[in-house]
Amino acid sequence: MKLALALCCCAAGTLWLSGCRNAESADDPDRITVACYYFPNYHTHDARNDRNKGDGWAEWKLVREARPVFEGHEQPKVPAWGYTDEKDPAEMARKIDAAADNGIDVFIFDWYYYDDGPFLNRALDEGFLGAPNTGRLKFALMWANHDWLDIHPYTQGDPQTVMYPGRVSSETFDRIGDHIVRDYFTRPNYWKVDGKPYFSVYDVQKFVENFGSVEAARAAMDGLRRKAVDAGLEGVHWNLVTWGNPVLPGEQAAENTPELLRRLGFDSGTSYVWIHHTPLPDLQTDYFKARDDYFAFWDKAKAEYGVPYYPNVTMGWDPSPRYVEKTPDGVRNYLVTNTISGNTPENFRTVLQQTKDRLLADPDGPRILNINSWNEWTEGSYIEPDTVNGTGYLEAVRAVFRR
């Protein structure tokens, strides 16, 4: 396929090549970059977790203790590699090799930083960046700037208290900018799109609240671009995670995402998980029903956003390990949403192929997609090997994208 390049004016007021190509695909217009979200709550001795959950706590505890909620419910999930500690460079090296060998190019780390400092950073800072093979995989940050509530687990009936507010001060954001430019953006394996480090924001409402207005938020974004340029980079590729259906407690969807993308000057949009765009009408909503709802949203985003939209492929959904109730017989799990079923490795591969085909059908469109996720074990959306499907989900990625 011959690459057609059209110069367009992006929301940030600069010129971009239509589709916002990833630099890695410059020599091959059909080369699709596969990014995968990584949730870093599977290591021991995070300072906040030790303080709030007990010495050495990791979210593996919820994975181990999960129990079925309905007949045929596949819980608990059991990791084939065991309950590993992701801050260990040797353990992370195995993850990096498995990802790179099976067609994944990028880990997008869910990245947490509050007014009083970082959270869940040891998986990236010690594990990933300390691994001897870290250069085999690129990495990027998705600032998970939502309120942190205690849902690890959440016990039915308990008050939902915000432990760490997602809103940070302008001074904190300035420190964040210095930190990520110095310690991440300038690393040789930090992921760049159109030559610029990719930095994604999860909650646009909280982001605007940080600064008090859309105009002030845009000025802060431009300030981070200047920091990157001063460090010898070409700027920042600002990406927005967009969603309609709130999932986490306290979330509020943006009222006019296309307008916010334009006014704030984001360079692209994407999604984190399908259930932000599907109501899951059945207790076990069919995987292809969820796909159809998501694909309809994708079409709408492409038509309305005015910037490239990077599609998402979700492996599954079942957050029941995070929700428990106390009964006379003890503690048991319960559902706060319906689940996705039929998400076999074969069906996952089918949707990966369909997503690839839809991307390639647009000669001027983007060549990037993301997967939810590498290890959202307690949300039922992971592609790490388990004892039921083995490496089936990784093999699906390799079959579609590995060349």
Domains parsed from the chain with CATH numbers: 24-401 (3.20.20.80)
Exposure string over 301-330, b if 16+ CB within 10 A, otherwise e: bbeebbbbbbbbbbbbbbbbbbbbeeeeee
Residue 174 has pLDDT above 80, yes or no: yes
Q: What is the pLDDT of residue 185?
A: 98
Residue 53 has pLDDT above 60, yes or no: yes
Q: How confident is the model at residue 136 (pLDDT cuts 50, 70, 90)?
A: very high
Residue 14 has pLDDT above 80, yes or no: no
Q: What is the pLDDT of residue 329?
A: 87
Look up residue 351 and give its two tokens: 């949707």
DSSP state at residue 386: B
Q: How confident is the model at residue 75 (pLDDT cuts 50, 70, 90)?
A: very high
> Contact 75/65 with Cβ under 8 angstroms?
no
Torsion (CA) 374, 120, 145, 298 in degrees, nearest 10: 0
Q: What is the pLDDT of residue 250?
A: 64
Look up residue 303 and give its two tokens: 């038509």
Residue 4 has pLDDT above 90, yes or no: no
Residue 328 to residues 155, 324, 332, 333, Cα–Cα distance (Å): 14, 13, 10, 14
CA-based angle 27:128:235, to the nearest 5?
Answer: 50
Q: What is the pLDDT of residue 16?
A: 33
Length of the chain: 403
Residue 310 to residues 4, 18, 20, 172, 315, Cα–Cα distance (Å): 18, 13, 10, 29, 16
What region, left, alpha or beta, does residue 161 occupy, with left being phi > 0 and alpha being psi -120 to 50 degrees? beta
Q: How confident is the model at residue 161 (pLDDT cuts 50, 70, 90)?
A: confident
Residue 148 has pLDDT above 80, yes or no: yes
pLDDT digits (tens, 9 = 90+) for 266-312: 999 999 999 999 999 999 999 999 999 999 999 999 999 999 999 99
> Contact 265/12 with Cβ under 8 angstroms?
yes
Look up residue 231 and give its two tokens: 């460090």
Give strand pairing partners of 339: 284
> Contact 268/309 with Cβ under 8 angstroms?
yes
Q: What is the pLDDT of residue 142?
A: 98
Helices 214-230 and 170-180, packing angle to 10 deg: 30
Mean pLDDT confidence for 216-244: 97
Look up residue 189 and give its two tokens: 């394996």
Among 15-24, 76-85, 177-186, 374-383, name the one with the lowest average pLDDT.
Answer: 15-24
Q: What is the pLDDT of residue 11?
A: 36
Give one DSSP letter per residue of 290-347, joined into a string: HHHHHHHHHHHHHHHSSS-EE-EEE-----GGGEEEEETTEEEE--SS-EEE---HHH
pLDDT digits (tens, 9 = 90+) for 363-380: 999 999 999 999 999 999
Kindly state the helix (H) or strand (E) to which residue 50 belongs, with its residue range.
Answer: helix 47-53
Distance CA 203, CA 251 (A): 8
Q: What is the pLDDT of residue 179?
A: 98
Q: What is the pLDDT of residue 12?
A: 37
On average, the pLDDT of the chain sits at 92
State the number of CA atoms in the 13 A half-sphere of 309 facing the CB.
24
Q: What is the pLDDT of residue 193?
A: 98
How many other β-carbons are positioned within 10 Å of the β-carbon of residue 368? 28
Distance CA 33, CA 185 (A): 18
Type of residue numbered 88: D
Residue 259 has pLDDT above 90, yes or no: yes
How many angstroms separate the first and last alpha carbons of the chain?
A: 17
Residue 218 has pLDDT above 80, yes or no: yes
pLDDT digits (tens, 9 = 90+) for 37-51: 999 999 999 999 999
